[in-house]
Amino acid sequence: MTRALLVGRYQPFHKGHMQVVKQVLSECDLLIIGIGSAQCSHTGDNPFTGGERLMMISEALSEEKIPLQRYIIVPLPDTNNNSLWVSQVRALCPPFDVVYTRNPLSKRLFEEAGISVREQPLFDRRRFSGTEIRRRMIAGESWEDLVPKGVERVIRTVDGVNRLKGVIGND
């Protein structure tokens, strides 16, 4: 049984992330979706709480009818000390065989800990990017097409666009 870990901040979870989830699911038995910087919220780069991001992912995967037994969502708070991060991730997640990430720091830290790392391909990164989606929300442009319907619903429920506009600069 292969277990894969996919780490991201998911601020917010978008259609590019969904394509990665589907691809990694085709290569493993169990997908562990780690919500990075889970303690962060209410800033321009991290507007949504760990719990809100968990709801976004769970709604989006359920909409795609991905069976619950194929994935686990685990909130992963940051550590002040990079050298301790992988140990904390390991302590919070079920055991995993491989990590999927394109984040250079995460990649290095997992490799130094002897864990095998794969880079997933990028899916239309110009549009499917958390930075671009947050930029559009602040500018009053349309962002809804870039996220799964369930994610749009969660963002509306928590008044996410107005929150983001109100917290710019709190980073």
Contact flag: residue 41 with ligand NAD (CB under 6 A):
no
CA angle at 154 for the pair 148 and 156, rounded to the nearest 5°: 105
Binding test (CB under 6 A) with ligand NAD, winner from 22, 42, 125, 149: 125
Site for ligand NAD in 126-155 (CB under 6 A): 128-130
Question: Would you give the binding string for ligand NAD spanning residues 72-111, x where CB under 6 A is met?
Answer: ------xx--x--x---------------xxx-xx--x--
- Write down the least CB distance from residue 126 to ligand NAD, Å: 8
Residue 120 Cβ vs ligand NAD, minimum distance, rounded to whole Å: 5
Among 5, 18, 20, 32, interactor with ligand NAD by CB under 6 A: 20
Contact window for ligand NAD (CB under 6 A) among 24-32, 61-69, 122-130, 132-140: 122-130
Are 86 and 110 in contact by the 8 Å Cβ rule? The answer is: yes
Task: Assign residue 150 a region (left: φ > 0; alpha: ψ between -120 and 50; beta: otherwise).
Answer: alpha
Minimum distance between the CB of residue 151 and ligand NAD, rounded to whole angstroms?
A: 13
Distance of CA 95 to the CA centre of its chain: 19
Nearest alpha carbon to residue 40 among 79, 5, 7, 13: 79
DSSP 51-98: HHHHHHHHHHHHHTT--GGGEEEEEE---SSHHHHHHHHHHHSPP-SE
Tokens of 113: 């800990």
Q: By the criterion CB under 6 A, which residues form the site for ligand NAD? A: 7-10, 16-17, 20, 36-37, 78-79, 82, 85, 101-103, 105-106, 109, 120, 122-125, 128-130
